[in-house]
Structure 1
Amino acid sequence: MHMYQTRSAVLFIVFNRPETTARVFERIAEAKPARLYIAADGPHADKERERELCDNTRAIAQNVNWPCEVKTLYRDHNLGCKEAVSSAITWFFEQEEEGIILEDDCLPNNDFFRFADEMLERYRFDERIRHIGGANLQFGKKWGDAGYYFSNMTHVWGWAGWRRVWKHYDKELSRYEPEEVRSQFENIFEDTFIVDTWVDIFKQVKAGKIDTWDYQLGIMNFFNNSLSVIPNVNLITNIGFGVSSTHTHNAEDRNANVPALPLGDIVHPKYMVPQKKADEATLIYDFNVLARRRRYNKPKRRFKRWVKNLFKKQAP
């Protein structure tokens, strides 16, 4: 079978999972990038076996057997997800104007590389487009009759992007303040529960309570009225769900191990508008909105709110 060979540089972000790293690296090897960047966080000082796991992971990632320039960024000590991943992407875009980013649990099919290459070229100078995602979590629902649709969401389970976007990345969200953001999220989402969750995420990220890098990129894209490109079929399988994962612990989650499908010919959408219903469908599940709405609308809770509002009206 002929395998597409990517024109783009690839950043491969790894840590301490040699099994998933080997599977993702095999797909990268099939696409044969001419430039491969490998970034690895270091082991925790208090975890005895982790150094061996990190060493084994790094050995797999460097097993390059095709013509390729390889650059590495290996950390001696653990920086954590927020700092290690964000600094790796900064390092990558300091040397590349654009490229593909894969983490060690994001298993692409070969069509992902073709899709990323074409989208990077097509929207290279289009400031409306700030992100190219590879994951589709619509579970068979297609939006429009093109090969992809536009979204306000920033999916990072296998993605591609440009230096022109990342140069504005701010892992501390220092430009924005908690008291300002609710009205901005309300301009993007109609559902109160989705707005509430994004406001809470923003506050936790701002306070340093979540060790992650990706919420910041998504929030910055929201606040810049940006569009992301999402394929109309899934091109990335997240194989990292489980106890060894940093964030995705539930192996039974419906987003775990979603099969990647053939893309076919890439047909471009006629209209460049976000499919907000697609974004809403994703967030209603991710933010557990239906269960929260049912609890909120229970008669007992409605009665308590009615009493509370009654006393507010009677207060001098």
Structure 2
Amino acid sequence: MSDGKKTPVAIFVFKRPQHTARMLEALARNPELAELPLFIFCDGARREDEKAAVEATRSIVRDFAHPAKTVVERETNSGLAASIIEAVSNLCSNHGRVIVLEDDLVVSNGFLGFMLKALDRYENDPQVMQVSGHAFPVESFGDTDPVLFLPFISSWGWATWDRAWSAFDTKAEGWQALLLDRALARSFDIGGVYPYSAMLAAQMEGRIDSWAIRWNWSVFRSQGCVVYPPVSLVTNVGFDGSGTHRSANAKFEAQSVADAATITFLDPPSAPDREDERFRLVQASVKAMQGNPLKQFAKRLLWLYVRRRILKSPVRGN
């Protein structure tokens, strides 16, 4: 078993000083933080008009008191995807595992305790590829309920091990199968409730730049799962239009944070049970968070259009 005190915490910030301050203030309320190495990655400005906000964010990071803090200030802009892939790869290689946060996340004071317990508990279980601090809201779930094992990842406060991250495929090999196999695409889309297939196609066409959708595909292809708390230990406060992939959306801000001390840990099943009642409740929650059914239908039509166009392309799958 690894020593939880050596697990690095990696934080990615850019040009949102207020978000960064709020995130660090919440993280500091976790008593475990003082014993963990802290790495903060500050991306560079893309344009002249971003430099003031970038510098204000870095000032907050520099002033944050921590006994084992490493701050990386990039002169140029790498983008979130490249920054996370590089840093997580290096930290996993050097430390065996890592806990990851972005600047728009506010965590509970039980967040690190839960992450460290889960990292230790499932360290040698090849099926479990990620630990999530975020959970989708299900009214009947409480903080004395057991953890869940779900076949998709979360990017809102997470952790992984080197043995799992080594399966991360930046090229998303085999993604074209989603265009040809509708049952496979539906499975990847959590039973058709979230447009992961369309997102991966957009990634591979160069229309978005997402590490998370490629990581999700890597976990899916490996038939892995992610361990989730029954209640969320993370709130995303970035839906104010200030982030790279964010838009104003109050639905996600309604997420509550909780103390993790009473959460029950279980051994993972041989495979995530998609017929399990708890899975179905999460599935319904994800679907409800998509908003207007007409918009969901429009997204589905767009995916079908993209699928047809790619299939007709003479250079499919590049």
| TM-score (norm: length of structure 1) | 0.80
Question: 1:6 Cα deviation (Å)?
Answer: 6.2
Which residue, 244, 256, 270 being the options, matches 1:259?
Answer: 256
Alignment RMSD (CA, Å): 2.8
Letter in 2 for 1:283: V
Q: Structure 1's 94 and 194: CA in aligned 2 closer, same or farther, altered over 3 A?
A: same
Q: 227, 230, 247: which one pairs with 1:249?
A: 247
Distance 1:180 1:279, change over 3 A: farther
Q: 5 Å matches for 1:176-195?
A: 176-178=175-177, 179-180=179-180, 182-187=182-187, 191=191, 193-194=192-193
The total of aligned residue pairs comes to 286
Please say which structure displays the higher CA radius of gyration: 1
Q: Gaps spanning 5+ residues in structure 1: where?
A: 297-316
Amino acid in structure 1 at the alignment position of 2:288: Y
Q: Secondary structure at the match of 1:170?
A: coil
Q: Does 1:210 align with 2:208?
A: yes
Aligned to 1:58: 58
What residue identity is the alignment partner of 1:132? V
**Residue in 1 that maps onto 2:37:** 35
Distance 2:298 2:9 in 1: 45
Q: How far 1:268 moved relative to its partner?
A: 2.1
Structure 1 position 244, deviation (Å): 1.1
Query: 1:1-316 alignment to 2 at 5 Å?
Result: 8-30=7-29, 31-45=33-47, 47-48=48-49, 50-68=50-68, 70-142=69-141, 146-178=145-177, 179-180=179-180, 182-187=182-187, 191=191, 193-194=192-193, 197-252=195-250, 254-269=251-266, 272=269, 273-274=272-273, 275-288=278-291, 290-291=293-294
Q: Segments of 4+ in structure 1 off by > 6 A? A: 293-296
Mapped partners of 1:11, 1:217: distance in 2: 17
Task: Provide the identity percentage.
Answer: 22
Q: SS of 2:63's equivalent? A: coil
1:17/1:187 CA distance change after superposition, 3 Å: closer
Deviations 1:62-114, CA, capped at 9 Å, x for gaps:
3343432x223322111223222322322322322112111101111111111
Q: Structure 1 residues 263, 188: CA separation in 2 closer, same or farther (over 3 Å shift)?
A: same
Separation in structure 1 between the aligned mates of residue 292 and residue 220 of structure 2, nearest angstrom: 20
Which 10-residue stretch deviates more, 271-280 or 30-39?
271-280
- Deviations along 1:2-47, one digit per CA (max 9) or x if unpaired, are xxx96632001111111111111123333324311111211013x4
C-alpha deviation, 1:286, in angstroms: 4.5
Aligned equivalents of 1:66 and 1:293: distance in 2?
45
Structure 2 residue aligned with 1:310: none
